[in-house]
């Protein structure tokens, strides 16, 4: 009886073991990727591409959750406060991790509340104008702007946005007086440049490129390291000796800071596996994005470098949003 009872107890324990181990395995169920912007924009598109590609290395689906509002502040604050178990990740961008901390007096989150998982990609920025302006290149535009005595206006997606900071940096670098017109989002601003209500726009390349290719905007410069294949006749800011405008947007994955380091490393490994797929690189390339690979420490260094640059730009332009 004793041996039979022992056998049955052992058998019961063995039957429970797989379930117990399954609970300890990460991930054992679907993950959520929070995008702090509305569907359809560059951040959302890139997030969905990466979420799909990470499904295989993680062995679980990654579901995108858009939590837009206040230039990315709402969604990023949610990421900072969510349970730190690795099951909820966030999209971090140049706006949320570098520009907002530089422009806002107070954020609904602290940068120490967030931990980097890994960079995903970077995209160039572009300066474009209404094609009706009587200028053909940057030198002619600068002369035109100086002669306009403040009557030339540039649009932005809102106070403290990348388009706002780039516009103010351009004014400082070229000694021009441009009027800033903030909008609720990049779409309305672009519409008004095309319509001629304002004259200039600084923007991420993916959203402006179709308008440039259609002849509705005229590109004057891009912030890439070299000229772009899609715009071979458009010079870089560096070529024009405007190195202070050589900014690129970046995207990466973040998690709440208390997330265990082994979990962060596992997420990074899954991300690196996804980024190594040629098909993913091609899909990002279609969004004018270039893959960035590396460790959490590499992404932290990128964030720190760009945050310092944005702080300098915000201070120089006296941008301080309460």
Domain with 278 in it: what CATH number? 3.40.190.150
Domain end call among 228, 245, 262: 245
Q: Looking at the 3D structure of the chain, how many domains does it have?
A: 2
**pLDDT tens readout for residues 162-195:** 899 999 999 999 999 999 999 888 889 999 999 9
**pLDDT tens readout for residues 63-89:** 999 998 888 899 999 999 999 999 999
Rg for the chain (alpha carbons), in Å?
Answer: 23
Q: Is residue 306 part of a domain?
A: yes
Local structure of 245: helix, strand or coil: helix
Domain end call among 184, 219, 245: 245
What value does the mean pLDDT of the chain take? 90
Residue 143 CB neighbour total at 10 angstroms = 12
Helix ranges restricted to H, 113-202: 138-147, 162-174, 186-195
In this prediction, what percent of the chain has a pLDDT beyond 90? Answer: 73
Q: Are strands 114-129 and 62-66 parallel, antiparallel or unpaired?
A: unpaired
The verdict on 145 and 89 lying in the same domain is no
Q: Which position has the token pair 């996804």?
A: 274
Q: Is residue 271 part of a domain?
A: yes
Cβ–Cβ under 8 Å, residues 109 and 255: no
The tokens describing 286, both together, are: 């279609």
Cβ–Cβ under 8 Å, residues 270 and 293: no
- Candidates 301, 291, 245, 235; CA nearest to 53 is 291
Average pLDDT over residues 202-214: 93
Average pLDDT over residues 90-106: 93
The whole-number pLDDT of residue 24 equals: 67
Cα 231 from Cα 206, distance rounded (Å): 12
pTM of the model: 0.84
**pLDDT tens readout for residues 261-290:** 999 999 999 999 999 999 999 999 988 999
The whole-number pLDDT of residue 79 equals: 97
pLDDT over 80 (residue 5): no
In this prediction, what percent of the chain has a pLDDT beyond 70? Answer: 92
Q: Is residue 22 part of a domain?
A: no
Q: Is residue 71 part of a domain?
A: yes
Residue 224 CB neighbour total at 10 angstroms = 22
Domain ranges, residue 204 = 124-245
The whole-number pLDDT of residue 11 equals: 38
Cα 166 from Cα 222, distance rounded (Å): 12
What's the angle, vertex CA 47, arms to CA 59 and CA 236, rounded to 5?
A: 135
């Amino acid at each position: 009886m004793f041996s039979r009872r022992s056998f049955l107890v052992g058998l019961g324990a063995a039957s429970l073991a797989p379930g117990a181990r399954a609970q300890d395995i990460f991930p054992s169920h679907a993950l959520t990727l929070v995008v702090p912007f509305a569907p359809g924009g560059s951040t959302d598109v890139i997030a969905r591409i990466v979420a799909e590609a990470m499904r295989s290395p993680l062995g679980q689906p990654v579901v995108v959750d858009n939590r837009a509002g206040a230039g990315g502040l709402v969604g990023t604050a949610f990421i900072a406060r969510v349970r730190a178990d690795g099951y909820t990740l966030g999209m971090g961008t140049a706006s949320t991790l570098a520009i907002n901390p530089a422009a806002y007096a107070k954020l609904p989150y602290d940068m120490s509340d967030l931990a980097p998982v890994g960079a995903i990609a970077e995209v160039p920025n572009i300066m474009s104008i209404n094609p009706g302006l009587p200028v053909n290149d940057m030198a002619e535009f600068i002369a035109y702007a100086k002669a306009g005595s403040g009557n030339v206006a540039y649009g932005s997606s809102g106070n403290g946005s990348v388009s706002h900071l780039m516009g103010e940096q351009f004014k400082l670098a070229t000694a021009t007086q441009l009027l800033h017109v903030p909008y609720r989002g990049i779409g309305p601003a672009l519409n008004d440049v095309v319509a001629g209500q304002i004259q200039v726009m600084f923007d991420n390349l993916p959203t402006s490129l179709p308008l440039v290719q259609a002849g509705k905007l005229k590109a004057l410069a891009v912030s890439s390291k070299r000229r772009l294949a899609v715009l071979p006749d458009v010079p870089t800011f560096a070529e024009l000796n405007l190195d202070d405008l050589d900014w690129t947007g970046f995207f990466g994955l973040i998690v709440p800071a208390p997330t265990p380091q082994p979990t962060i490393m596992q997420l990074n490994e899954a991300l690196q596996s996804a980024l190594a797929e040629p098909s993913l690189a091609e899909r990002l390339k279609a969004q004018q994005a270039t893959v960035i690979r590396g460790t959490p420490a590499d992404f932290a260094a990128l964030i720190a470098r760009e945050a310092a640059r944005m702080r300098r730009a915000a201070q120089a332009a006296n941008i301080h949003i309460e």
